[in-house]
Structure 1
Amino acid sequence: MDFKPVIVEEFKVYGLCTELTTSQSENYQIITKHWQNFNNALKSRKLKLGTSWVKYGITKKIGNKYFYMVAIPSNIEIDGFDVETINTGEYVCFQHVGAMGLIKSTIYQIYKQIIPSSNFGLNENRTLIHFERYDYRFSWNKPNSAIDIYVPIERNT
């Protein structure tokens, strides 16, 4: 799996948030339905993203609960959408290639294999777990579909 450390500059996104469970299978269903609801919300607001579209999936932990936000970048407030700021910082950008049904395996590799064996540290008390960046390379179930997954890190010294 390709990955590299990157600096992400602060940006704002607007979207819809939903609560997750502790079950990856249930969460996959919740997130799939949430994306459908979000895309319908974009259509109902007549928000067209054009050919250079970008969307985000953001996983957060607040207290002992996990949340997933689907969003688009915008410098203008979007009525009825929540706002989230992605803070400037160091991240590791991983690339998931393949159908979305395989993303569980990619997430497992990131958190259970790659990060533990690297010099990247995670702040266990962070709110932002990771965010996914979707663009023109994304095509739901095609084997060449690609998304980027950004995990905020701290360097181990």
Structure 2
Amino acid sequence: MKKQLIILVIFMGLSLMGCGPMEEKPPKVMIQTEKDNYELTIGSYCWGDTCSDVAGSVEQLLETEEKKPIKVKPGQTISFVMKNGPKPNEISVIQENDNQELDVEVKVKDNQISASMEEGIYYYIYDVRWANGDDAFYPFALEVEVD
């Protein structure tokens, strides 16, 4: 009986160590360019028992947060970094066009994308999903400038 009690106490202690407090929001995401790091704003998400919906285009969301487009060079590599929290199972990047029906999925390789080769401002959504059903999107804009 004493042995069973000791095993039970050890098991409960080990179980509690893995049950830290869950964050209330999805992890922060940074964009890394050749020169700088930029923290992205969280858009809509479902995290644990909480869901938060934001409405509007990426451009409208960034204006609300007073976020300016990130200046990059044509074809420059853009890296996404999520330092804390669980790593997502699915990652996609969507380029939002003026006509919502023509949004384009951008190729993501090793958590990186390449900026457009043409000058202009481009609006994107970094969309991530976790195996437990949580999801989040992070809007951002890139301004491609030729030197």
> Could you say which structure has the higher strand fraction?
1
Q: Does TM-score exceed 0.5, indicating one fold?
A: no
Q: TM-score, normalization: structure 2?
A: 0.27
Which structure ranks higher in relative contact order (CA pairs < 8 Å, sequence separation ≥ 6)?
Answer: 1
> Could you say which structure has the higher helix fraction?
1
